[in-house]
Amino acid sequence: MKNLEMLVCECEKELDAINISYQKVVRLKTNDRTQKRLGRCSSISSDGYEIEISGRLLKNEIADKATKNVIIHELLHTVKGCMNHGEKWKLLANKVNKNYPQYEISRTTPLEFLGLENTESNKQYKYVIECTVCGKKWYRMRSSNATKYPELYHCTCGCSVVCHEI
């Protein structure tokens, strides 16, 4: 099992090196029950934040860079004005990605990049929404506006998407 405190310390040093002013983390938690969410940041007081990391990321067979990718994502939420994935958060994520190419800090990171098995893959999906340029895919079990009107939606890379029935 990985040492979460040590990994957080390493991430903080990396953010310090590129002058990103995160706030104090006063509590670290591991969540062994969550399957989809890999991390969470919560403001717990005026003194600091709580960061929760999925136990899936702390297994020894998962690369440290994958765990640190999620930790840095959550640390960016502690920056003033970055509790959401708004413009300021995106600018900081891009700054990290430029300075540390081993990371892929984004709103959502593909489980494959992190070396995790997608537990969703065992479900029976009816639709797949796919980017016409980068090929990123989203699976849906039920019809939605995105499956009915894919022309109104775009991939995170900014390109158009199409929907196919499986």
Locate the domains of the chain by residue range. Answer: 4-111, 123-165
Question: pLDDT, tens digit, for every residue of 26-63?
Answer: 999 999 987 778 999 999 988 899 999 999 999 999 99
The Cβ of residue 21 has, within 10 Å, a number of other Cβ atoms equal to: 10
pTM of the model: 0.71
Per-residue pLDDT, averaged over 114-138, amounts to: 79
- Please tell me the predicted confidence (pLDDT) of residue 122: 47
Q: Regarding beta strands 127-131 and 48-54, do their DSSP bridges make them parallel or antiparallel, or are they unpaired? A: unpaired
| Alpha-carbon torsion (29, 32, 36, 38), positive or negative | positive
CATH class of the 4-111 domain in this structure: alpha beta
